[in-house]
Structure 1
Amino acid sequence: MKNYIETTTLQNIFRILLSVFMIYAGFSHLSFNRVDFQAQVPDWVPLSKDLVVILSGIVEMILGLALLFWKNQRVNVGWFLAIFFVLIFPGNIAQYVDGKDAFGVLDSDRARLIRLFFQPVLIAWVLWSTGAWTAWRSSKK
């Protein structure tokens, strides 16, 4: 499978938007939303909630920067970010199941449930905008 595939202008715009979002989210993990992100760390994780938030914030910033600047590895970065979104999904589920509020908007079961449906959208977004899905499909032909 290729590490780089040509993408459209629309894909590039959405990839850049996602990368800015990831960098911002990672920065917010380390600063003003740190406590809110701790609410997403499931109690069964055997590490300090603060450590998990710090590490995931660093990973988000690295992936966001890679998504923005590492053109020749765009497909691989897309797959890594998609896997990252899958790995953090149990935290979103735990937040819903445990009824933990966060960010001033995730303050009801309904809001937390709706949020769960956005994770697959993020995964599809990254796989489409990086060309990862297209590269995988073309490698199967």
Structure 2
Amino acid sequence: MKPYVPTNATQKIFRIILGSFMILAAIGHLTFQREEFQAQVPKGIPFFSEDFIVVASGVVELIFGLAILFWKSNRVYVGIALAIFYVLIFPGNISQYTNGIDAFGLDTDRKRLIRLFFQPVLILWALWSTGALKAMFTKSDK
């Protein structure tokens, strides 16, 4: 699979938006929304505190945000890695729903349930905007 696939202007715009969201989320993880992000961490994760997980995921989100914006030569791999990251953090969203935890204005079961359906959108957004979808479904010349 090629690490770089040319993308169109629409994909570039959406990639910039996604990268900006990732950087903003990272800042929130590390500062003003730290407690709300802790509410999404599933209970009972061994070895790590909720705060450590929030800070670590904030650092990872910052790296992804910067990489999706600036690491053109490996954009496809960044898109795939970001999609995997979205899959890995999905249990936190499920935990927030199943445990009825209020955070980020999600103060009803209905709002928390609707939020769950946005995770697949983020996964596809990361794959599409980076050209990863095309790279995964295009036959290699090798």
1:139 is displaced (CA, Å) by 3.1
Provide TM-score, normalisation by structure 2.
0.96
1:45 is displaced (CA, Å) by 1.3
Matched, 1:137 2:132: no
Distance 2:133 2:2 in 1: 11
Distance 2:13 2:135 in 1: 19
Distance 2:103 2:116 in 1: 14
Distance 2:15 2:69 in 1: 7
Mapping for residues 98-113 of structure 1, pairs under 5 Å: 98-103=99-104, 105-113=105-113
What do the CA deviations read for 1:54-98 (whole angstroms, capped 9, x no partner)?
A: 000000000000000000000000000000000000010001000
Provide the secondary structure at the position in 2 that maps to 1:121: helix
- Over the aligned positions, Cα root-mean-square deviation in angstroms equals 1.0
Identity value in percent? 61
Q: In the alignment, which residue of structure 2 is the partner of 1:12?
A: 12
Could you list the structure 1 runs, at least 4 aligned residues long, displaced by more than 4 angstroms after superposition. none
Q: In the alignment, which residue of structure 2 is the partner of 1:69?
A: 70
Provide the secondary structure at the position in 1 that maps to 2:138: helix
Mapping for residues 48-127 of structure 1, pairs under 5 Å: 48-103=49-104, 105-127=105-127
Distance 1:120 1:6 in 2: 23
Runs of 5+ consecutive residues of structure 1 not aligned to the other structure: none
Runs of 5+ consecutive residues of structure 2 not aligned to the other structure: none
Mapping for residues 19-30 of structure 1, pairs under 5 Å: 19-30=19-30
| Paired residues, number | 140
What do the CA deviations read for 1:89-114 (whole angstroms, capped 9, x no partner)?
A: 001000100000002x1111011000
1:20 is displaced (CA, Å) by 0.2
Distance 2:25 2:139 in 1: 33
Distance 2:26 2:125 in 1: 18
Provide TM-score, normalisation by structure 1.
0.97
